[in-house]
Amino acid sequence: METILQGTAEIRFTHPDAFREWVREHKRREMVEKLMTEGEAVSRCVADGDYIAYDFSSLTRGPQALVREIIRQRRRDLWICAEFTLHESALLVGGGCASRIDVGFLGYGNYIGRAVSDGRVRVFDWTNGALASRMLAGARGVPFMPVRTLLGTDTLRHSGARVVHDPFTGDPVCLVPALNPDVFLVHVHQADVFGNARIFGTNLFALEAATAARKVILAAEEIVDPLEFRKDPARTTIPYFLVDAVVHLPFGAYPGGVQARYELDLEHIDKVNAIQSEEQMQAYLAEFIYGVQDHADFLNRKVGWHRLQDLARRATIREGYH
């Protein structure tokens, strides 16, 4: 197939066979307990230079405690998949952790916009749908996914997509390369110690990304008996063999919410969004991330029992989330 047009973005790409071989070597098939602290999970699974993806959004069921741990451990030169990403991209850049961002949606606040304009972080423009398709290709073990989007736009020219003539219709079609992240972070409602997991409500690409990633860190609101999964297997979102680390992190999506568990804390979110200057950013990181030992310490000293109970009490919509 002749390439008609090729986008200019640098891409992180793995040959499907290389990925398969990595899985054969490294992913454990036996059911072993993977419960560990967030500190252990990040130090084992996240290395400098890694490509990181996450699900769902910054404000709902996002892996915020894991992101804070990555910043606390001062990982460097990360490449992040910014889909539905709001304040955590700013925090990762502010913490000096992220140097490249694949953009689906990169909001919000002036801090991240200025970091891009100042050249402190490089962005490559894709779209939410293109990144989801890339993840699907990565999960299928195929090198690319054809899509009928991006076509004709600057988004395509600045992405890493290519346009070819489709051999079936003869029409131009856009090909997006498979994405196999080094690490996928996901916060779930329930998990067992082996890594079987349930997500209630919508998701971006939780199963696709868990399948496509080399390493998966699962943060769970609740650890449940493994038998629960066998009693109701249709509700399993992610099976254990995709998962490398399970971390029990109640309120781990804070300041975002988790459906039917606790509401988001808009006051804290507004505080993060109001960050404009480097000074404000460093002050925030010092107080809320570097200045605490771990997630439990963060909740105890920076959020507090009363606040958490109030957020939990406000999560009154339960139907559908069980």
Both tokens of residue 318? 């339960």
Question: Which residues are CB-neighbours of 227 under 8 A, at least 6 positions away?
Answer: none
Among 259, 265, 275, 281, binds other proteins (CB under 8 A): 259
Query: Considering beta carbons, is residue 167 or 320 the nearer one to other proteins?
Result: 320
CA nearest to 189, candidates 112, 147, 251 = 251
What letter represents residue 77's amino acid?
D
Which of helix, strand or coil describes residue 239?
coil
Which span sits near other proteins by CB under 8 A: 41-49, 92-100, 108-116, 293-301?
Answer: 108-116
Segment 120 to 159, residues that bind other proteins, using CB under 8 A: 122-123, 125-130, 132-133, 136, 148-155, 158
Give the one residue of 67, 103, 218, 285 binding other proteins; rule: CB under 8 A. Answer: 103
> What length is written for the chain?
322
- Tell me the helix, strand and coil percentages in the chain, rounded to 5: 35, 20, 40
In the bound state with other proteins, the residue whose beta carbon lies nearer, of 153 and 293, is 153
Neighbouring C-beta atoms of residue 96, cutoff 10 Å: 15
Dist. CA 318–CA 275, nearest whole Å: 34
Using an 8 Å Cβ cutoff, are 130 and 176 in contact? yes
Q: By CB under 8 A, tell whether 60 contacts other proteins.
A: yes
Subset of residues 262 to 291 that bind other proteins, contact rule: CB under 8 A: 263-264, 266, 269
Tell me: does residue 204 bind other proteins (CB under 8 A).
Answer: yes
**Which of these ranges, 11-19, 105-113, 242-250, 286-294, lies near other proteins under the rule CB under 8 A?**
105-113
Give the footprint of other proteins on this chain (CB under 8 A). 56-57, 59-61, 84, 86, 103-108, 112-113, 116-119, 122-123, 125-130, 132-133, 136, 148-155, 158, 163, 166, 171-174, 201-208, 256-257, 259-260, 263-264, 266, 269, 315, 317, 319-321
